[in-house]
Structure 1
Amino acid sequence: MSVISDNVPDAAPQVPAADHTLRILTFLARQRGPVPARTIADQLAIPRSSVYHLLGVMAAHGFVVHLTGDRRWGLGNAAFELAGGFARQQPLARLGRPLVAALADRTGESAHLAVMSGRDVLYLVEERAPRRPALITDVGVRLPAHLTATGRAMLAALPREQVRALYPDRSTFTQRTGSGPSRPGELRELLRRTRADGYAREDGEVTAGFASVGVAVTDHAGWPAAALAVTWETARGPDAAQIADAIRDSATELGRRIR
C-alpha cells in the first residue's frame, strides 16, 4: 500500500482495525517516549474511541503498556521481542562480527554484541580473547538488561518514560549474584551515572569475579539498536575508561554501518 505521508494512507484499507493497529505501533516506535492516547488519535487521524479500544487490546497482548499516573502509552515487552527477532534475522550480527573481533584484539579482553529483547539482552556475537576464560555471554544467551553493561548502556539511551514502562515496580527486577538495582529508583540513579560517564559498567552483578563496560550503538534516529561490551576478570583490573574509549570507537563505526 503506498502512503502519501507517515500518518495517512492514500486509500481506505480493507482491514481498518489492522491498519490502525500497525500505524499506532509505528507511531509509538518513532517517539522518544510514551505519549497520551489523545496525541496518537490527533496525529494519526483515528477516532479517539478506536485508539483507546485498540490500545487496550494491544496492552492485553503486551505490545503496549499504560503508564497510569502519566496517562501515557508506550511500547511493551512484546514489541521489543519483535525487535529482537528482527535483529537476529537482519545483518546486524554480520556487520558487527568483524568489529567485535577487532575490539577483542585491541583490548586483549573478550568482547560481545547484544540487543534488547524485552527486559533482557540477547547476545548476537561473542569474541573470546586468547587465554581468557569462557563467559556466560554465548551467542543466543539472554540476561537481565538491568544487570549487564550492554543492557545498561541501551537503557540509558532510552527515554526515561520508556525505562519506567519497562521497570514499573520491584517485581520486574531479578538478581543473579545478589547485587545490582532492585527497585526503580536505584535503576534511575545507575542510568543517570551511566549517561554522565558516557558508558555503562557492571562489576560482579552477572558473574562474580568479572566486570564489564558497555557502550550503546545508536541508529539514525538516535535509538539504541544494540550495544558493544568488553568483559574481563576483576583481579586484572584494566582501566575502565580506556576500555570504554575503545568500545566507543567500535560502537560509532557500527552505528555508521547500520544507518
Structure 2
Amino acid sequence: MSQVPAATRTLRVLRFLASQPDPVPLERIAQACDLPRSSAYHLLRAMVDEGFVTHLGEERRFGLGLAAFEVGSGYSRQAPLQRIARRAVAALADRTGESAHLAVLHGRDVLYVVEERAPGRPPLVTDVGVRLPAHLTASGRAILAGLPRPQVRALYPDAAAFTDRHGAGPQSPGALRTLLAETRQRGWATEDGEVTPGLASVAVAVVDHNGHPVAGVAVTYPSTDPPSVSAEVRRTAELITRRLGGLVVE
C-alpha cells in the first residue's frame, strides 16, 4: 500500500509534463503537482534514470524522455488507431494510385502500422511492423516537425543520434532543425531517396486533441515520376485527425 502514493505522484508528474508545450523548471513541477521541492527532485531523478524524463541541464528544465514517447506511441500502435485509419489510408492509395502508409513514432524510429500497396507500383521496404529512422522518413519528419523543439532536441542531442542508410539526410541537430523548419513552413514533409534510392515520399502528421502529432500519413512514389499528392495526403491526415477527436487547423 505504501507504494500507491508514490505511483500516483509519478503519474501526476508525467501527466503534467505531457500537458506542457516545453520542458519546465523543477519549481513549477513541484507547485503544479503539489509536491515538496525535495520530493519532486528525487522523483524526477528516478524518472530520468528510467528514461521517462529528460533533464536539460543548461536550461535547468525537465521534459518527457524517450520511454514516455514509447508508452505514448504504444497506445497509438494499438487497434483503435489502426481501425480508424485503415480505410482512409486505403482510399488514399486508391485516389493517388500510389502506395500509402501510416506510421507512429517509436523512440528515434517510426513504426509502420498500416500499409496499403497500390497495384503495379514498386516494392517498398516499409510494411506493418517495420521500423525505420524517423529523421530519414517523410512520416517521421512530419511527426517530428509537430513536436515541441526541446523534445526534438532531447531525441537528437548530438550527431551520434543520427543513423545513415544511403549517405543522405540530416546528420546533425542543426541540419535536422533546418529541415523541420522547412517542413513546418511547407505544411508537409518530404524525402527523396533517403530511405530507398529511386523512391520519394510525402507525409502529413495526424494530431490528437492536444495538437500532439501521433502518426504520419504518407504516399511513396518513384522519384522520376512524382505525382501531385500533397493535397490528398493532407486531406487523409485531416480526416484521421477528426476521427481521433483532434483539431484540424484550417
Task: Please state which band the TM-score falls in when normalised by the shorter chain.
Answer: over 0.9
Q: Write the letter of the residue equivalent to 1:139.
A: V
In the alignment, does 2:16 pair up with 1:27? Answer: yes
Q: In 2, distance between residues paired with 1:51 and 1:20?
A: 9
Match of 1:117 in 2: 106
* One of 102, 112, 116 as aligned partner of 1:127: 116
* One of 61, 77, 81 as aligned partner of 2:66: 77
Match of 1:165 in 2: 154
Q: Write the letter of the residue equivalent to 1:169.
A: D
Q: In 2, distance between residues paired with 1:160 and 1:14?
A: 34
Once the two structures are superposed, the pairs formed by residues 52-67 of structure 1 within 5 Å of their partners are 52-67=41-56
In the alignment, does 2:221 pair up with 1:235? Answer: no
Residue pair 1:116, 1:151 contacting (<8 A) in 2 also: yes
* One of 233, 238, 241 as aligned partner of 1:252: 238
Gaps in structure 1 of 5+ consecutive residues: 1-12
CA offsets, 1:92-131, max 9 Å, x none?
0111000000001111110000111111111000101110
Residue pair 1:210, 1:233 contacting (<8 A) in 2 also: yes
Measure how far apart 1:83 and its partner are.
1.5
Measure how far apart 1:236 and its partner are.
1.5
Residue pair 1:33, 1:162 contacting (<8 A) in 2 also: yes
Give aligned-pair identity as a percent: 61
Gaps in structure 2 of 5+ consecutive residues: 246-250
Which deviates further from its counterpart, 181-190 or 70-79? 70-79
What is the CA RMSD across the aligned residues, in angstroms?
1.3
Residue pair 1:215, 1:247 contacting (<8 A) in 2 also: yes
Q: In 2, distance between residues paired with 1:254 and 1:204?
A: 27
Q: In 2, distance between residues paired with 1:109 and 1:33?
A: 37
Q: Write the letter of the residue equivalent to 1:130.
A: P
Residue pair 1:167, 1:173 contacting (<8 A) in 2 also: yes
In the alignment, does 2:39 pair up with 1:50? Answer: yes
In the alignment, does 2:178 pair up with 1:192? Answer: no
Q: In 2, distance between residues paired with 1:163 and 1:193?
A: 15
Which deviates further from its counterpart, 80-89 or 106-115? 80-89
Match of 1:4 in 2: none
Q: TM-score, normalised by structure 2?
A: 0.95
Q: Write the letter of the residue equivalent to 1:258.
A: L
Q: Write the letter of the residue equivalent to 2:118.
A: A
Q: In 2, distance between residues paired with 1:203 and 1:156?
A: 17
Residue pair 2:77, 2:104 contacting (<8 A) in 1 also: no
Measure how far apart 1:88 and its partner are.
2.3
Q: In 1, distance between residues paired with 2:48 and 2:210?
A: 25
Counting matched residue pairs gives: 245
* One of 133, 143, 163 as aligned partner of 1:154: 143
Q: Write the letter of the residue equivalent to 1:228.
A: V
Residue pair 1:84, 1:122 contacting (<8 A) in 2 also: no
Measure how far apart 1:14 and its partner are.
6.5
* One of 36, 42, 48 as aligned partner of 2:25: 36
Residue pair 2:86, 2:114 contacting (<8 A) in 1 also: yes
Once the two structures are superposed, the pairs formed by residues 215-226 of structure 1 within 5 Å of their partners are 215-226=204-215
Q: In 1, distance between residues paired with 2:184 and 2:74?
A: 27
